């Protein structure tokens, strides 16, 4: 088995947990990491007792001839530039979603991939989660008949924690939360519908987050910290390393800006209606101030209905044999593993290794990444302009 030498660009929270999966493998070897923050690189290396080469400038990492591929885990606004630079350097790329924060940026990434002859994997881990993969399989088998409609409710109870206490809070950095958060779901909807979006309509607002607090205010220095519903509390996460030892981080070390600061301009409530070229129609709802954390998918075909409940790790199929025979039910449960993203982190790394071994494009490739941001960006445009958008 060949061991592929790789580099990581971006050493924040996502890297902290993905590295735990990489270190379990015999076919991937991290040899270098890069981040503009020296403290972040030091923290990652120390948590795993590793002494990987460190670069404050990612372009220096890309100069290394021994590195075959890179995993880009940096903030969204850096994805386009870094992916293009990696292709110019002759590297295979695993790029966290979104592929870019503009439509033209996404096109440039794919064009550069094609010119380089290298592979591009987008970090759509839900495709590699057994629960979501089973949903796709069921729809393809025709159990619920011909797919016609559906809706998705994405409840982001931890929205404050993940999206309003740091750089995610501005449109310039993310292109909007329908890219940063919603692109996972748009990719799954596109994948299951097996078609391209023909037109869309959308509504959205910022109902709760943002406000008049100073942009440099952090929770630890706020007088309202103990009474604020979104105030960050000091907490420490621990997990087992592949070698059996325990490690951990302060959960809020990267995210402690005020969730009601002036610069926040991303929306926290979205509703998007999609119509596909094959006639499938799907409604997507994403709310960041609901109490629960869950994804609920419903797809309806000419013979039945499928419901995915992510929090319960459960798929339920109801069959409509006739008007008077609607009680047949099939249930799948406990499909997700205890590993990261329900096994998605492990399985997506399998696909990265497949791309490194064969030079063939992976399942969640550049086109999927582009189509997801296209939906998200055009939905934000529809919200702003109040118009139905035709693709």
What is the predicted pLDDT for the residue at 260? 97
Q: Are the CB atoms for 34 and 54 separated by under 8 Å?
A: yes
Residues 6+ apart with CB under 8 A from 143: 303, 304, 306, 317, 319, 330
**What is the band of 270 on the pLDDT scale with cuts at 50, 70, 90?**
very high
Q: Is the pLDDT of residue 385 over 90?
A: yes
High-pLDDT (> 70) share of the chain, %: 99
What is the predicted pLDDT for the residue at 342? 83
For residue 119, how many other CB atoms are within 10 A of its CB?
Answer: 24
What is the predicted pLDDT for the residue at 281? 98
How is residue 257 written in tokens?
């800006």
For residues 283-303, average pLDDT? 97
Name the nearest CA neighbour of 73 among 155, 140, 15: 15
Q: Are the CB atoms for 311 and 294 separated by under 8 Å?
A: yes
Instruction: Point out which residues pair with 8 in neighbouring strands.
Output: 33, 71
Each residue of 310-352: pLDDT tens digit? 999 999 999 998 888 888 899 999 988 777 788 889 999 999 9
Mean pLDDT of the chain: 95
High-pLDDT (> 90) share of the chain, %: 87
Q: What's the predicted TM-score (pTM) here?
A: 0.96
Angle at 321 between CA 320 and CA 327, to 5 degrees: 60
Each residue of 104-163: pLDDT tens digit? 999 999 999 999 999 999 999 999 999 999 999 999 999 999 999 999 999 998 878 889
Asked if residue 98 has a cis previous peptide bond (ω within 30° of 0), the answer is yes
**What is the band of 236 on the pLDDT scale with cuts at 50, 70, 90?**
confident
What is the predicted pLDDT for the residue at 167? 93
What is the C-alpha to C-alpha distance for residues 77 and 102, in angstroms, rounded to an integer? 9
For residues 69-75, average pLDDT? 97
For residue 245, how many other CB atoms are within 10 A of its CB?
Answer: 9
Q: Is the pLDDT of residue 268 over 90?
A: yes
For residues 169-182, average pLDDT? 95
Angle at 140 between CA 373 and CA 389, to 5 degrees: 30
What is the C-alpha to C-alpha distance for residues 47 and 13, in angstroms, rounded to an integer? 12
What is the C-alpha to C-alpha distance for residues 389 and 302, in angstroms, rounded to an integer? 28
What is the C-alpha to C-alpha distance for residues 58 and 32, in angstroms, rounded to an integer? 10
């Amino acid at each position: 088995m060949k061991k592929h030498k790789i580099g990581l660009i971006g050493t924040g929270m996502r890297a902290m947990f993905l590295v735990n999966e990489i270190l379990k493998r015999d076919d991937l070897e991290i040899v270098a990491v890069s981040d503009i923050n020296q403290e972040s690189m030091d923290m990652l290396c120390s948590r795993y007792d590793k002494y990987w080469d460190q670069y404050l400038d990612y372009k220096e990492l890309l100069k290394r001839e021994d590195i075959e591929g890179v995993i880009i885990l940096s903030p969204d606004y850096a994805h386009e530039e870094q992916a293009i630079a990696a292709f110019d350097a002759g590297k295979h790329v695993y790029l966290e979603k979104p592929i870019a924060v503009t439509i033209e940026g996404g096109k440039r990434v794919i064009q550069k991939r094609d010119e380089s002859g290298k592979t591009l994997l987008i970090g759509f881990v839900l495709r590699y989660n057994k629960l979501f993969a089973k949903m796709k399989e069921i729809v393809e088998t025709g159990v619920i008949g011909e797919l016609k409609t559906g809706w998705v409710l994405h409840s982001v109870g931890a929205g404050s924690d993940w999206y309003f206490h740091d750089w995610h809070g501005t449109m310039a950095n993310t292109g909007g939360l329908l890219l940063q958060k919603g692109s996972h779901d748009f990719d799954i909807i596109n994948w299951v519908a097996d078609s391209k979006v023909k037109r869309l309509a959308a509504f959205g607002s910022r109902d709760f987050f943002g406000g008049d607090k100073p942009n440099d205010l952090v929770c630890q220095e706020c007088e309202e910290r103990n009474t604020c519903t979104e105030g960050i509390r000091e907490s420490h996460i621990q997990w087992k390393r592949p070698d059996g030892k325990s490690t951990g981080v302060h959960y809020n070390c990267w995210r402690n800006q005020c969730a009601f600061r002036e610069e926040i301009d991303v929306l926290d409530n979205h509703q998007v209606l999609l119509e596909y070229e094959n006639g499938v129609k799907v409604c997507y709802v994403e709310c960041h101030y609901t109490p629960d954390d869950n994804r609920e998918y419903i797809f309806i075909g000419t013979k039945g209905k499928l419901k995915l409940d992510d929090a319960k790790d459960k798929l339920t199929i109801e069959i409509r044999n006739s008007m008077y025979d609607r009680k047949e039910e099939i249930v799948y449960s406990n499909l997700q593993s205890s590993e990261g993203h329900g096994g998605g982190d492990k399985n997506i790394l399998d696909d990265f290794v497949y791309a490194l071994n064969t030079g063939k494009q992976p399942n969640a490739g550049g086109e999927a990444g582009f189509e997801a941001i296209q939906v998200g960006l055009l939905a934000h445009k529809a919200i702003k302009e109040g118009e139905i958008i035709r693709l």
